[in-house]
A = this chain, B = another copy of it.
């Protein structure tokens, strides 16, 4: 049975939206059906999300960009978060994730779902962790029911995709903690589950009771973003046994979920040096049967706090060239503090640069056509035309403000190489 026959919510979305989606992507409907059938594409969209615009993720569909938003215990203001939603949308993000860990989480999530017509993702274990930490209980005291109930509530609210660390087994956690990793487990959800498993000497409920999870999310077409709780948090930790043990699990879970009518994406690393990116991405795609790969970075060095959006764009571009489908942004605030509105903008833009560079290297028609139009405008010193094609038209206009009536730019002035050779005739 093909997946859309086994997932009524998905089938309805395809019936009403597929022709619009395929037109936007420049893909034939058959290509999308094939991708969905093979599990190499997903269509994000929970019918309970008001004003939702569904989204295809999975190459050769356009590579998408996600912006992580949300409160934290040290920075907790709903209005600021709503400003960040607006900034992320204006900067051209394709999805947002609400990673709030402070304040009234249900209310924040509801507000974000109302304000954002793009798919919205969450990490439900944060809400469970918050209630434990707020009451000064150990996260090991979590009941599995609390986690499943939270997931069910968020599905009803309209969340479109959720990060669930189902592949994080007790064995994987022990490998990560035993192996003298430089930085152990750096995923927040992953570290909570690892603590829970070790302290309770029990398997991860999201893995042990995976069928229960599938039954909860399927009626809402909530896509599982299978989290990488054991992703390396330092370049020196990249590619160890713990990481691959989890990737193997993620591939098996995604395949199983697909047969049960639930769409899955795979979350990927993480910190890794530049020379490992190609092999890691290709390895993960192989082990997960080419399911859509959603990466955080990859971040190609550890010592660049304040510039991790750049280090992440380096890894992200190479990642896209090797099969990454979906880039989670890193902002200049990564490893330091909660991103502010400017960080959100910078993060989305850096990820869009990486996505475009990767797609250009893949020879995607849309990327090539954009470059051709940009270069045509550049050759004609047509600044309006350049602004139209630029990744950030607003910034281009702003930087041109002081000399907007000049034909040339303020770097070269009359030394403009384009003007220098305009009237040259070769015999």
Contacts and interface: CB of A to CB of B under 8 A. Distances in A.
A178 interface: yes
Interface in A358-385: 358, 360-362, 367-368, 370-372, 374-376, 378-379
Contacts of A305: 386, 390-392, 395-396, 399
Contacts of A337: 399-400, 402-403, 409-411
Interface in A141-177: 174, 177
Most B C-beta atoms less than 10 A away, residue of A187, A306, A399? A306
Interface stretch (A219-227, A255-263, A307-315): A307-315
Contact of A317 (B73, B185, B300, B321): B300
A124 interface: no
B413 A371 contact: no
A44 to B, nearest CB: 25
Contact of A399 (B303, B310, B336, B371): B336
Interface in A168-197: 174, 177-178, 182-188, 190-192, 194-195
Interface in A72-107: 72-75, 101-102
A102 to B, nearest CB: 7
Chain A contact residues: helix, strand, loop or mixed: helix
A73 B392 CA distance: 26
B192 A303 contact: no
A417 interface: yes
Given A74-B410, A194-B421, A273-B360, 4 more contacts: A74-B406, A177-B426, A182-B379, A305-B396
Nearest to A336: B399
Nearest to A398: B306
Most B C-beta atoms less than 10 A away, residue of A129, A378, A396? A378
A274 B389 contact: no
A32 interface: no
Given A305-B396, A311-B353, A424 B195 contact: yes
Contacts of A411: 72, 333-339
Contacts of A415: 72-73, 101, 126, 129, 133, 188
A371 B414 CA distance: 45
Given A186-B417, A310-B353, A360 B235 contact: yes
Contact of A410 (B195, B338, B400): B338
5 contacts: A72-B412, A133-B415, A305-B392, A310-B313, A336-B400
A292 B188 CA distance: 44
Contacts of A317: 274, 300, 314
Contacts of A183: 375, 378-379, 418
A354 interface: yes
B73 A396 contact: no
Interface residues of A, number: 107
Would you list the 9 A-B pairs with minimal beta carbon distance, nearest first?
A73-B413, A274-B361, A191-B417, A74-B410, A275-B361, A306-B395, A191-B420, A337-B410, A336-B399
A389 B208 CA distance: 42
Most B C-beta atoms less than 10 A away, residue of A133, A275, A309? A275
A295 interface: no
Given A72-B412, A302-B374, A375-B302, A392 B338 contact: no
Given A303-B370, A371-B234, A413 B191 contact: no
A335 B391 contact: no
A61 to B, nearest CB: 19
